[in-house]
């Protein structure tokens, strides 16, 4: 089967699963992958995105734990210390103003 006979959707699925930009059908995707994989600027962007996502997940987990601890005898100050949150953040969670999960 020649490249012309392959439906575009199949090519797109291939490109999304491909890690080598030289093997991609769509040049726009190949260029972006090449940028992120092969340039210092692109690599820095990716690392920042992963770091931001990690921090966001850690914050969401701390908030979830703080919510659970609010149903115990721990004080707001103790919960803040345990969860590495500010007292103000825990008070907002207690007041229902924080909805991250």
**99/57 same-domain check:** yes
Give the pLDDT of residue 2: 76
Q: How many domains does the chain have?
A: 2
**60/98 same-domain check:** yes
| Range 33-54 burial, b when 16+ CB lie within 10 A, else e | bbebeeeeeeeeeeeeeeeeee
In terms of residue numbers, what domain contains 80? 52-101
64-88 pLDDT tens trace: 999 999 999 999 999 999 999 999 9
Give the pLDDT of residue 101: 46
Give the pLDDT of residue 16: 95
Q: Helices in the chain by DSSP H: which ranges? A: 8-17, 27-38, 40-69, 76-83, 87-94
30-67 pLDDT tens trace: 999 999 999 999 999 999 999 999 999 999 999 999 99
Query: Is the Cβ–Cβ distance between 46 and 32 less than 8 Å?
Result: no
Output 26 or 4, whichever has higher pLDDT: 26
pTM of the model: 0.63
């Amino acid at each position: 089967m020649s490249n012309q006979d392959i439906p575009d959707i199949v090519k797109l699925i291939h490109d999304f699963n491909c890690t080598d930009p030289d093997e991609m059908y769509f040049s726009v995707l190949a260029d972006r992958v090449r940028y992120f994989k092969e340039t210092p600027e692109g690599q820095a962007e990716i690392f920042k995105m992963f770091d931001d996502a990690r921090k966001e997940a850690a914050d969401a987990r701390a908030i979830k734990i703080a919510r659970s601890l609010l149903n115990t005898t721990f004080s707001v100050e103790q919960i803040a210390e345990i969860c590495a949150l500010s007292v103000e953040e825990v008070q907002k969670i207690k007041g229902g103003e924080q909805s991250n999960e």
